[in-house]
């Protein structure tokens, strides 16, 4: 009985033992100083929000990063593997309201709990560099950066329409509006309100943010595509159409012509006329414009409706449709409606008059809020013109003879027709010429527009970084001097989540002496978007205790860019664009030299349960504590890497965790059983292995090569774990020979030692335990990663499946370097193959060297 117990793998005993030892050695996971002379490796996982509980998505994310960090340590790098807390944000306020616990207390106690979970999982983080964004030692630097941006015109205030969640009583970013509802309150419709807000001028970097994506070849293509679309650059032309005047006395229209192309209007006589500026990416098609369409909010529409109550009613209806579509989050799919205003615009190139429409699908905040409609060459315009029976004038024909000319013809591979003197030009030539003419005659210019908007950072919340600005009646906006940073969040505050910013209800916070005139003044009461905190936290890690600056530039120069960043693809646009922007701002401030924060990015898949996302409402949450309690941290971590390739979604199966746990138990039994033999091999070289030793060492070196390659490239950790399982199976299958002493001690030592090293990034506790069992005294984390001997790894024989008419019949063995002829001969000589082909006609033999042989038999 006692012996039975001794032979049981017991993670509940092994794991805490090692966690205690690791915790007692602060240098173990610590990054070494810049002067250490080793190559550096910065592996970073996205920092969690301290909700109070790690979830399985975290376990997966951090198991990937931790495996990589451990591998790089063993490869001899100076590794930085830090962890911190994205600790500001609304849930702390919600919890405060619900439990009557101050946000700070709630947050810090959650952090303590999650830190214990991390330790119980055995994650190798350098806690000396921990960053907690809600602490003044961190957020003072948010304020410092804000002031630097303000000084450079990169932080500014403007009145703007904002998304307002009545439930949160705060402003939401566009991206926080999901299907017209709040991202936190799935059933709460978002309102539109006008507020004066603080913005960061991210658009100043739009072009650079776009261009930089081309260099980021270590980022997933899907992330780069999402960012390109988000930035949304389009090249085009701003063109002024002219509003046709109404002769008040007679109602007779003057100017303009309904007839075909005539002379373009001259700028001199156009100077006093009302202009309608449109943005188009296809000025080459402008002779095909058959209407001008305005957004319902366009300034000109108000002047039309002022004189026409019936028109106003119709425009109001369009506004209402647009608002509903915006709230429903499907503005792109709005059913297109428009109304004719009865007014006309004049095309500046040919003097032709076209009707002015107001349409619900034209957006006031894109381009100029006005478009020219060219139904012959634009899908959307074609659809609209067909619906309202507007004329369709073809002005481009395909460049290629006989090509499909069906309208709308939207390709730019074409030649101009029906365009007066420009007929025969290619689209590209015409674009250039027409732009030049617009500039020369003063009715337009080349224009690049971006979909990217400036980043609204104001939040009417308590639990965020106070914006370090002061409003003085005499001096206007005044910066808080650097010497008065941080502007501290008041500790005691009543959270109601109603009526705007909670800080505005704290007189001791609001009332302040103006730093400029010494008179009474008021503090800004908005706090910053929490995406500010996460935009630069990783620069703080290597110099987390710096009290004089956000970080030391020399230290940042050594560690940046990050070598590998790992996180969820849901952060592809917001966090990852904001942190790229922040990096460029810091570079322009002279703080860093790198242009981009991270050289490589990896986005892991989600963890699902029974095919769907784990959530409280579905009641399908699997808790990490439960898994660790039942199977151990090593089994939970290894399973999360084994169950699917890391970039794919993983469906959590408890059976699978149990299976991995049984596998680890087998490794433990195997290593424990043969460790005494292996220890005798210490200091003795392996010499010309043969027989079963050679077979096992070959498998060992093949496995080493595979796993090493995977860490360098594909990261298919699932197949790495599978390869270790195969190796263990093969060793176990030879148990009788091992027990009989057929494998000499030095070979046994190499076998077990390397097996344990290969396992170390995935199951660090078990590896540490067995490492000690093998007589090793120093930490396995500092042991060199094993190398594979290609000679030893080389197979001398290969198994080749042989098929008859596509069906597997037999597997034959051939020399690993056999040529096609030899393989064919071996296949035809196979016992079963001979039996099946006897008396038949082998029509064809297809040999795929190293893979298979197929015989076509009749
Ligand atoms: Zn909300
Ligand atoms: Zn003042």
**3-state DSSP of 655-668:** HHHHHHHHHHHHHH
Distance from residue 193's CA to the centre of ligand 1 (Å): 15
| Closest ligand (CA of 163) | 1
| Closest ligand (CA of 190) | 1
Distance from residue 505's CA to the centre of ligand 1 (Å): 21
How sure is the predictor about 366, in pLDDT bands with cuts at 50, 70 and 90?
confident
| Closest ligand (CA of 476) | 2
Q: What is the DSSP letter of 255?
A: S
666-719 residue pLDDT tens: 999 999 999 999 999 999 998 888 899 999 999 999 999 999 999 998 899 999
Q: What is the DSSP letter of 218?
A: B
Please state the pTM of the whole predicted model. 0.83
Distance from residue 500's CA to the centre of ligand 1 (Å): 13
As a whole number of angstroms, the distance between CA 535 and CA 579 comes to 4
Per-chain mean pLDDT for the chain: 91
As a whole number of angstroms, the distance between CA 816 and CA 69 comes to 36
| Closest ligand (CA of 185) | 1
As a whole number of angstroms, the distance between CA 510 and CA 488 comes to 12
CA dihedral 110, 113, 119, 125 (to 10 degrees): 20
Q: Taking residues 830-854, what's their average pLDDT?
A: 88
Distance from residue 177's CA to the centre of ligand 1 (Å): 9
Distance from residue 476's CA to the centre of ligand 2 (Å): 7
| Element spanning 820, H or E | helix 820-828
**In the predicted model, is pLDDT for residue 499 greater than 80?**
no
pLDDT at residue number 2: 40
**In the predicted model, is pLDDT for residue 378 greater than 70?**
yes
| Closest ligand (CA of 186) | 1
389-440 residue pLDDT tens: 999 999 999 988 888 889 999 999 999 999 999 999 999 999 999 999 999 9
Distance from residue 188's CA to the centre of ligand 1 (Å): 7
User: If you search the block for the tokens 């941080």, which residue do you land on?
Assistant: 486
**Which class for 39: exposed (0-12), middle (13-18), buried (19 or more C-beta within 10 A)?**
exposed
209-242 residue pLDDT tens: 999 999 999 999 999 999 999 999 999 999 999 9
3-state helix, strand, coil in the chain (%, to 5): 45, 20, 35
101-121 residue pLDDT tens: 899 999 999 999 999 999 999
Distance from residue 509's CA to the centre of ligand 2 (Å): 17
Distance from residue 88's CA to the centre of ligand 1 (Å): 16
Strand, helix or coil for residue 704? helix
Distance from residue 771's CA to the centre of ligand 1 (Å): 52
Q: For strand 797-804 and strand 275-280, is the pairing parallel, antiparallel, or unpaired?
A: unpaired
Distance from residue 196's CA to the centre of ligand 2 (Å): 21
């Amino acid at each position: 009985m006692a012996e039975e117990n001794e032979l049981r793998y017991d993670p509940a005993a092994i794991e805490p033992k090692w966690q205690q030892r690791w915790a007692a050695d602060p240098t173990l996971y610590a990054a070494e100083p810049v002067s250490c002379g080793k190559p550096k490796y910065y592996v970073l996982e996205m920092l969690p929000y301290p909700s109070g509980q790690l979830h399985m998505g975290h376990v997966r994310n951090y198991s990937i990063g931790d495996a990589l960090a451990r591998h790089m340590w063993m490869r001899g790098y100076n590794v930085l593997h830090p962890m911190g807390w994205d600790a500001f944000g609304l849930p702390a306020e919600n919890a405060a309201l619900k439990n009557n616990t101050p946000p700070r207390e709630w947050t810090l106690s959650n952090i303590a709990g999650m830190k214990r979970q991390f330790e119980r999982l055995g994650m190798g983080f350098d806690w000396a560099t921990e960053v907690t964004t809600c602490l003044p030692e961190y957020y003072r630097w948010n304020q410092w950066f804000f002031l630097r941006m303000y000084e450079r015109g990169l932080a500014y205030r403007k009145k703007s329409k904002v998304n307002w969640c009545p439930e949160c009583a705060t402003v939401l970013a566009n991206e926080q509006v999901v299907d017209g509802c709040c991202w936190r309150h799935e059933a709460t419709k978002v309102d539109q309100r006008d507020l004066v807000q603080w913005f960061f001028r991210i658009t100043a970097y739009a072009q650079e943010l776009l261009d930089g994506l081309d260099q980021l070849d270590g980022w997933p293509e899907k992330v780069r595509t999402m960012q390109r679309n988000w930035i949304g650059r389009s090249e085009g032309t701003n063109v002024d159409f002219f509003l046709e005047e109404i002769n008040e006395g007679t109602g007779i229209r003057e100017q303009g012509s309904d007839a075909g192309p005539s002379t373009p209007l001259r700028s001199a006589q156009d100077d006093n006329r009302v202009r309608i500026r449109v943005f188009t990416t296809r000025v080459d098609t402008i002779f095909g414009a058959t209407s001008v369409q305005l957004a319902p909010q366009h300034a000109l529409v108000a002047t039309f409706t002022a004189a026409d109550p019936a028109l106003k009613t119709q425009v109001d209806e369009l506004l209402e449709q647009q608002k509903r579509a915006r709230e429903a989050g499907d503005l792109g799919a709005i059913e297109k409606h428009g109304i004719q205003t009865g007014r006309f615009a004049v095309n500046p190139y040919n003097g032709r008059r076209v009707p002015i429409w107001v349409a619900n699908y034209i957006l006031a905040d894109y381009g100029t809020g006005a478009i020219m409609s060219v139904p012959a060459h634009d899908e959307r315009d074609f659809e609209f013109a067909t619906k309202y029976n507007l004329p369709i004038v073809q002005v481009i024909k395909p460049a290629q003879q006989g090509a499909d000319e069906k309208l709308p013809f939207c390709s730019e591979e074409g030649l101009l027709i029906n365009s007066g003197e420009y007929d025969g030009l290619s689209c590209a030539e015409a674009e250039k010429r027409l732009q030049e003419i617009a500039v020369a005659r003063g009715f337009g210019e080349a224009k690049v527009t971006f979909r990217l908007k400036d980043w609204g950072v104001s939040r009417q919340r308590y639990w965020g970084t106070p914006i370090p600005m002061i409003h003085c009646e005499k001096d206007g906006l005044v910066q808080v001097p650097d010497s008065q940073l941080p502007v501290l969040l008041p500790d005691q505050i009543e959270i109601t989540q109603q009526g705007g910013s909670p800080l505005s209800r704290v007189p001791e916070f609001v009332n302040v002496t103006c730093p400029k005139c010494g008179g009474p003044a008021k503090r800004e009461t908005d706090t910053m978007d929490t995406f500010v905190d996460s935009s630069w936290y990783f620069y703080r890690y290597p110099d987390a205790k710096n009290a004089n600056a956000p970080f030391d530039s020399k230290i940042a120069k050594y560690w940046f860019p990050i070598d590998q960043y790992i996180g969820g693809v849901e952060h592809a646009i917001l966090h990852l664009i904001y942190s790229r922007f922040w990096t460029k701002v810091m570079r322009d401030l002279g703080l860093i030299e790198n242009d981009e924060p991270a050289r490589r990015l990896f986005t892991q898949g989600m963890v699902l349960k029974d095919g769907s996302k784990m959530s409280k409402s579905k009641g399908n949450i699997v808790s990490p504590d439960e898994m660790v309690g039942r199977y151990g941290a090593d089994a939970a971590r290894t399973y999360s890497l084994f169950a699917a390739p890391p970039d794919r979604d993983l469906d959590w199966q408890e059976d699978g965790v149990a299976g991995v746990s049984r596998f680890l138990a087998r490794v433990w039994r195997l290593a424990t059983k043969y460790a005494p033999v292996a220890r005798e091999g210490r200091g003795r070289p392996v010499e010309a292995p043969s027989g079963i030793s050679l077979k096992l060492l070959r498998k060992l070196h093949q496995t080493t090569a595979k796993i090493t390659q995977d860490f360098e490239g594909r990261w298919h950790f699932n197949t790495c774990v599978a390869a270790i399982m195969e190796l263990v199976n093969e060793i176990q299958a030879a148990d009788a020979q091992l027990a009989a002493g057929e494998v000499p001690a030095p070979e046994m030592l190499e076998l077990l030692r390397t097996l344990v090293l290969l396992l170390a990034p995935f199951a660090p506790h078990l590896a540490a335990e067995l490492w000690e069992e093998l007589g090793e005294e120093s930490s396995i984390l500092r042991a060199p990663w094993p190398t594979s001997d290609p000679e030893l790894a080389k197979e001398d024989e290969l198994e080749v499946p042989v098929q008859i008419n596509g069906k597997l019949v037999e597997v034959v063995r051939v020399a690993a370097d056999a040529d096609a002829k030899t393989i064919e001969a071996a296949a035809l000589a196979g016992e079963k193959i001979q039996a099946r082909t006897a008396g038949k006609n082998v029509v064809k033999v297809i040999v795929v060297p190293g893979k298979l042989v197929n015989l076509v038999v009749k």
